[in-house]
Amino acid sequence: MAAVATFRTAVHLTGRRVLLWSLLGRLPNAMCPIGSLLLVSHDSGSVWRGSAAAGTLAVAQAVAGPLVGRLADRRGQRPVGLAAAAVNALAILALVAASRSGLPLWLQLVPAALIGLSVPLVGPLSRSRWVRLAGGDREATGAAISLDGIMDEISFTAGPAVIGILAALADPAAGLLLAAALVGVCGTLFARHPTAPPGTPAARRHGGAPLLTAPFALLLAGMALLGVCFGSVQVGVTATAERLGHPGAAGLLYGLIGLTSSFAGVATAALPAGFALAARLKAATVLLLAASLLLPGAAGMTGLAVGVGCLGVAVAPQMITMFGLTERAVPTDRLGEAMAALVSSITLAQSAGTLLAGWLADRSGAAAPFLVTCAAAGLAAVLALTTATEARYRRRTGAGHRPLTRARAG
């Protein structure tokens, strides 16, 4: 019942329709990396070419994310979101056309990079938007961030699944065409909604307050270590499933992280207010470490599924808590930039974790990637246990929250 009350608070704050646009608008972000990999690999007959397109997209998104977030903070979410949604949809269509036409690889990497550079950042900007709408109300802020975290988990579970289903039943291009439609329509509706905050005038910006303070740097490091866990688990699950003779089950197994994480996100929303965020972060990272230790010794598919599912239970509480602590650690007028930086941190680290785990899998066997997972989870636990205190995040850098009008339009 506590979780239901929490979500009612969040829905009352934002409105139902903008939550729908937010959910559907962030799906393309989860669909495009795997979609570009499948499309280019299928059309060219080369997995390496598909990997190059997906990698280019991911790196471009990680680099541009904080810049787009900063523009949205300064110029307003509406103009920046509208421009990004239009460019992103066109770039996705351009990649499909380039791949289908058999153009040289570099001409396919250009639209792939443009997709990454123009991602509308619906997830990070929605978190920034909900915090602003809460106007400093801790209960409303926590409710909105919890609900948004669950929506993230749903999108990153459903996005690849939709791409896989459409690739199997129709064509690899179908998933990307759907992604273009979603970002063009739902990304635009999200940007145009009355809840979109305006930019911060230069006179009201806290330009003297640095974004990269010690508390925020620690949160970026925590997100990066979580990203390494994601990348290494993905490789480990793929390698282990292949070793066990079930290569086609790898996607479903990895999807368990998103499934169990979604349920854990609902449970997180029901936690009592007295369970402080710093203590939650410590508990979540210890749980992440304990779950990761189950993976190297998994002897069969059942053991692997249990380990991956347990790992997912720790993910949502950790991410939701770090987003909540970020809301305290950075100036209000730079929230969009900060949330985007967290996403960039986890994206780059996931790529690094994938590369390292893949190298180890080739040289030391299918279980080796899980050692990377254990190491990253261990570092995350040590970092949280030794640095996460309520005092560290008690005061926000720069000015506090300013009450904002809670504009709602359904």
Tokens of 231: 């990348």
Which candidate, 97, 94, 108, 102, places its Cα nearest to that of 37? 108
CA–CA distance, 233 with 368 (Å, rounded to integer): 10
Whether 60 and 116 have beta carbons less than 8 Å apart is answered as: yes
CA–CA distance, 270 with 358 (Å, rounded to integer): 38
Structure confidence at residue 14 (pLDDT): 74
Tokens of 285: 């990272």
Cα 43 to its chain centre, rounded Å, is 28
Which candidate, 299, 310, 301, 277, places its Cα nearest to that of 389? 277
Consecutive 10-residue averages of pLDDT for the chain (410 residues): 61 80 90 84 80 83 85 87 95 96 93 93 84 74 76 78 79 92 94 81 54 85 92 82 75 76 76 80 93 89 90 87 83 79 86 82 86 95 86 53 41
Q: Which residues have C-beta within 8 Å of that of residue 299, sequence separation ≥ 6? A: none
Whether 174 and 164 have beta carbons less than 8 Å apart is answered as: no
**How far, in Å, are 13, 31, 63, 228, 410 from residue 57 at the CA level?**
34, 12, 10, 18, 34
Give a three-class secondary structure readout of 260-290. HHHHHHHHHHCCCCCCCHHHHHHHHHHHHHH
Structure confidence at residue 377 (pLDDT): 95
Phi and psi at residue 227, to the nearest 5°: -65, -40
CA–CA distance, 167 with 165 (Å, rounded to integer): 5
Indicate the Cα dihedral angle 190, 191, 195, 201, nearest 10°: 160
Whether 131 and 148 have beta carbons less than 8 Å apart is answered as: no
Whether 371 and 353 have beta carbons less than 8 Å apart is answered as: no
Domains of the chain and CATH, by start = 1-201 (1.20.1250.20), 213-398 (1.20.1250.20)
CA–CA distance, 328 with 306 (Å, rounded to integer): 35
